[in-house]
C-alpha cells in the first residue's frame, strides 16, 4: 500500500516569457480550493489524500491541469464547482469525473 490513498498534483507553473501556462488560468485558486475542501472533509494525511503543488506538468494547452494518482487521471477545471466535484467524486468516492478528464492528446 502506498503512503497516500490518493495524491493530487496541481500545475502552478508560471512561464517567465509570458507564454501560455496554468498559472495564467487560475491554477492557484484551484489548488487553494482543493486543499480547503480536502481539509474540510478531513481527507488529509497518511493513508488518505495529499494535495500538492507542482511545477510544469507539460500539458499547458489544457490548463489549468491537475493529476490524481495512483489512477493517473488528468483533469482540467474551470471553477470552484469543478474542484468540488473532483474532491467529492474522485478523492472521496474514487469515481472519475469524466466531463473534466483531459483528453490524452492534449499536450503543451
Domain extent listing, the chain = 6-55+62-96
Mean pLDDT within 26-38: 97
CA 81, distance to chain mean position in Å, is 13
Radius of gyration of the chain (CA): 13
Q: In this model, does residue 14 exceed pLDDT 80?
A: yes
Tell me what pLDDT residue 19 has. Answer: 78
Tell me what pLDDT residue 18 has. Answer: 76
User: Could you give the CA distance from residue 108 to residue 95 in angstroms, rounded to a whole number?
Assistant: 27
Mean pLDDT within 14-42: 93
- For the domain covering 6-55+62-96, report its CATH number: 3.40.30.10
Q: Is the pTM of this model over 0.75?
A: yes
Mean pLDDT within 41-67: 95
Amino acid at each position: 500500500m502506498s503512503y497516500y490513498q490518493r495524491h493530487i498534483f496541481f500545475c502552478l507553473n508560471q512561464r517567465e516569457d509570458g507564454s501560455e501556462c496554468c498559472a495564467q488560468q487560475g491554477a492557484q485558486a484551484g489548488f487553494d480550493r482543493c486543499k480547503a475542501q480536502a481539509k474540510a472533509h478531513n481527507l488529509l494525511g497518511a493513508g488518505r489524500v495529499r494535495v500538492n503543488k507542482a511545477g510544469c506538468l507539460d500539458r499547458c494547452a489544457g490548463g489549468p491541469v491537475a493529476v490524481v494518482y495512483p489512477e493517473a487521471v488528468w483533469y482540467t477545471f474551470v471553477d470552484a464547482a469543478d474542484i468540488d466535484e473532483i474532491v467529492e467524486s474522485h478523492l472521496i468516492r474514487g469515481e472519475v469525473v469524466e466531463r473534466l478528464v483531459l483528453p490524452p492528446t492534449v499536450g503543451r
